[in-house]
Structure 1
Amino acid sequence: MSVVSAVRIFQDWGVFDAIPIRGATETEQDITYAALAAKLNVEESLLVRIAGMLTSNSILYHLPGTLARLAHTPTSLLLRPAQPVGSMFQVMYTNVVEVSTILPAYFVTYGRAEPRGPGHIPTSFLAGRPTLEYSELLNEDPARIETFMRAISITHQNMPTTGMYDMDWVLRKVAEEPDRVVWVDIGGGPNYEGQK
Structure 2
Amino acid sequence: MNWRSFGINFVLIFSPNTFAGAPYTDLATLTFPAGADQAREMSLLRESAAAFPAVTSIRVKDALEAASAILAELAAAVRGASSVALLASILVLGGAVAAGQQARVHDAVVLKTLGATRGRLLAAFLYEYGLIGFATALFGVAAGAAAAYGVLRKIMDLDFIFFWREALGSAAAALILTILLGLIGTFRILGRKPGPYLRDL
TM interval, shorter chain, is: under 0.3
Which structure is higher in strand share? Answer: 1
Which structure is higher in helix share? Answer: 2
Instruction: Tell me which of the two structures has the higher relative contact order, counting C-alpha pairs closer than 8 angstroms and 6 or more residues apart.
Output: 2
